[in-house]
Amino acid sequence: MYNYNDFDEAFVRERVAQFRGQVERRIDGSLTEDEFKPLRLMNGLYLQLHAYMLRVAIPYGTLNSAQMDRLAHLAETYDKGYGHFTTRQNIQYNWPALKDVPDMLSDLADVGMHAIQTSGNTIRNVTADHFAGAAKDEVADPRPIAELLRQWSTDHPEFQFLPRKFKIAVTGADNDRAVIRAHDIGLQLLDQDGQPGVRVIVGGGLGRTPMIGKVLRDFLPLEDLLPYTEAVVSVWNRLGRRDNKYKARIKITVHEHGIDEISKRVEDRFAAIKPSFSGVDQDMLRDIEAQFAAPAFRNAETDLFDRAYAADPLFRSWADTNLTDHKADGYAIVSISLKKHGATPGDATADQMRVMADLARQFGHDELRISHEQNVILPHVHKSDLPAIYKILRANDLATANIGLASDIIACPGMDYCALATARSIPIAQQIAERVDALKIEHDVGEMKIKISGCINACGHHHVGHIGILGLDRAGVENYQITLGGDATQDAAIGERAGPGFAYDEIVPAIERLMLGYLDLRVDEGETFIQTYRRLGAAPFKAILYPQEAKSHAA
């Protein structure tokens, strides 16, 4: 893990001190709200429907046990005893008082954390594969690159007043778990005959105009990453539409100018600035890489795991669903579900955070990850420790065996919290999860990605859900549109709108019909929902969703 050096430490402390002064001046009336708003947003502080909200960055989703403990401390001391993990590997506190926020930021600085650039028209928290450094299919650990980008983008003088926000995601594997094709820049680490490099994808994004990113460079030598990325952002900073915020993101710039024109401009800019990069960034990268060295894995028997797996059906079910192959023999990656049926997706109580921190300390080489799917990961666990871990997870309501299944739903905060939302998301997720649990169908239904957004901005990634749900305000009533066939992986696809929206009390039955209908349509148990959808197209699923219309067409 990356440890702050003296520069990082001083920088973050200074920002806390600056913000403390700004909050004081806002409270004593020296600053108006118009003056204060951009300052608070630079430090991750929003004003939402019922309270302020502080968004804290968890860079590339990695944290250690002391940091997780500190997140628990914040939840307990300044909030209502819980925190909400988001789709961009941040944590949000929904109830802080304005006067407490500088103290929260100071407490975070104690453990090398901050809320800088978690809002505003800047380069946001750089996200990464949540299995980074552990996944068996990984070519290279994406986190050193993500950390280098974090340092480069933090307070970068050229990029503090961008046309709009800018999001970068990095993966080090062919299997894309970081949704890189739906980011402003998506980076995939490659190895070409021993030469490290990066595939650069640009212009992806969700929101009101969803687009899958386009390849800008199929193989960029790794050493050119920073000047090349700077060239991309620089070209967009010049061309980006500041006249219309709905057309300001780079996806529109790429769309309007074409990938060839953007590529030409980027290459020109890259050629111009490359000489100014003396190689110091590569020295820094070496230093960062050393800090992300793999832990000392142990060689041990896995009998304890094998025996528990054979004897305990509950443990077996959890192991089958929540474990992923690790690159080290005898090890596994543990996904801890924050999606207990009926609970709020992504929420963890302070007690649960401490339990997960303890597990990381005791069994997990002190490492934790937050996934964009709003779960927590123990990336390095020896299999012999899994029965003990499972027991502790069960005792703390953290052992739900549903990773990748229908109740493992992404949901944005929606109109329960968010000032931008047009409808609620959380209760829809809760009700779907409760329904699949009551029907006992989710292990039969198998892999299914349901993603819910409470407005068109798509924080809930609904466009790339196998089943996407978008909550809208239709004439003063909540209404939910369904999209089908989206995909967030290396086969990224934007879902297709199924038809007219459903009322609040109709949407859960509609999703139930889709699931049961899929069970009838699939060739066999091996064909997943998305495979069936790709084989048959939208028509049979639309007929399931709108039986009345299907009937009238037949008549």
Partner 1 sequence: MPRQFTPKVVTANRLLEGDAVWFTAQDTWSTDIADAELMTDEAHADLRLLQAQGQADVIAGAYLADAKEGDNGPEPTHFREAFRTRGPSNYAHGKQEQNHV
From its phi and psi, is residue 53 left (phi > 0), alpha (psi between -120 and 50) or beta?
Answer: beta
In the complex, minimum distance from the CB of residue 462 to partner 1, in angstroms, rounded to a whole number: 19
DSSP 350-405: HHHHHHHHHHHHHHSTTEEEE-TTS-EEEEEEEGGGHHHHHHHHHHTT-----TTS
Residue keyed to tokens 């639309």: 542
Measure the CA–CA gap between 413 and 419, rounded to whole angstroms: 10
Cα-Cα end-to-end distance for the chain:
65
Q: Which residues partner with 135 through β-bridges?
A: 326
In the complex, minimum distance from the CB of residue 175 to partner 1, in angstroms, rounded to a whole number: 32
Structure tokens at 21: 């002064």
Burial of 298 (0-12, 13-18, 19+ CB in 10 A): exposed
In the complex, minimum distance from the CB of residue 24 to partner 1, in angstroms, rounded to a whole number: 12
Closer to partner 1 by CB, 35 or 268: give it.
35
Closer to partner 1 by CB, 50 or 551: give it.
50
Q: Hey, is 271 helix, strand or coil?
A: helix
Closer to partner 1 by CB, 26 or 247: give it.
26
Closer to partner 1 by CB, 99 or 208: give it.
99
Structure tokens at 546: 């709108």
Closer to partner 1 by CB, 12 or 432: give it.
432
Closer to partner 1 by CB, 48 or 106: give it.
48
- Phi, psi of 224, deg, nearest 5: -95, 5
In the complex, minimum distance from the CB of residue 353 to partner 1, in angstroms, rounded to a whole number: 17
Which residues contact partner 1 by CB under 8 A?
Answer: 26-29, 32-33, 47-52, 80, 94-99, 344, 415-417, 424, 426-427, 430, 473, 476-478
**Alpha-helical segments (H) within 408-538:** 426-439, 442-445, 507-521, 529-536
In the complex, minimum distance from the CB of residue 477 to partner 1, in angstroms, rounded to a whole number: 7
Closer to partner 1 by CB, 47 or 259: give it.
47
CB-based contact 87:412 (threshold 8 Å): yes
In the complex, minimum distance from the CB of residue 83 to partner 1, in angstroms, rounded to a whole number: 13
Measure the CA–CA gap between 216 and 200, rounded to whole angstroms: 6
In the complex, minimum distance from the CB of residue 209 to partner 1, in angstroms, rounded to a whole number: 24
In the complex, minimum distance from the CB of residue 92 to partner 1, in angstroms, rounded to a whole number: 13
Closer to partner 1 by CB, 47 or 284: give it.
47
